[in-house]
Chain A
Amino acid sequence: KQEVTQIPAALSVPEGENLVLNCSFTDSAIYNLQWFRQDPGKGLTSLLLIQSSQREQTSGRLNASLDKSSGRSTLYIAASQPGDSATYLCAVDAGGTSYGKLTFGQGTILTVHP
């Protein structure tokens, strides 16, 4: 059974810092990995999707990398801003008969102070 772990559970940084969020998964046979952002009491906003054949994806100040063989992904946020404060979730799709079914990590709660 796939298990997804995110470290750290919470992170508090001053504005302007570059930061890294970590995600690990136990079964490397994944179809893709996706990073989401969730604001309090809200739904999920997709940030980046990495296919199993890809090593990284970039969108603006966000960069996500994937090392499938070691079961790890990182989300890099450059020049953090108070508006980046949210919970960040990573999720893996195993594909095959489980295509579309996501297994989520517990999330990293990020607070960026002005």
Chain B
Amino acid sequence: SAVISQKPSRDICQRGTSLTIQCQVDSQVTMMFWYRQQPGQSLTLIATANQGSEATYESGFVIDKFPISRPNLTFSTLTVSNMSPEDSSIYLCSVEGSGTEAFFGQGTRLTVV
């Protein structure tokens, strides 16, 4: 299994500002994934972050809005830029453990006011 630590666990931010979310894994992993869960909705994949290359974004998500860093095999950040109330969601990072099982962090609950 993999243990994932996400920071912050929650935040309330002013519109127009940016928030950077950190994801730390207790083992080296090739791929890390960032998901968004809007209120009352299921999870939607934002992007895949591989160490040493640019993140790959899913349809509807762009780098200018959600820049991602992946400086090493145990750490990644997701920034939510120029926030609006529509960005209020839970943001989760995920990794693939051995046996292809996916593990998730506890999530970051973001409220934009």
Contact = CB atoms under 8 A, between A and B. Distances in A.
Given A100-B33, A102-B43, A106-B42, A49 B99 contact: yes
A79 interface: no
B31 interface: yes
B90 to A, nearest CB: 7
B100 A101 contact: no
B106 interface: yes
Interface residues of B, number: 25
A113 B6 CA distance: 32
- Interface of chain B, helix or strand or loop or mixed? strand
B55 to A, nearest CB: 13
Contacts of A76: none
B45 interface: yes
Interface stretch (A12-20, A36-44, A60-68): A36-44
Interface of B: 6, 31, 33, 35, 41-45, 48, 58, 90, 92, 94, 96, 99-107, 109
Interface of A: 31-32, 34, 36, 41-46, 49, 51, 89, 91, 93, 100-107
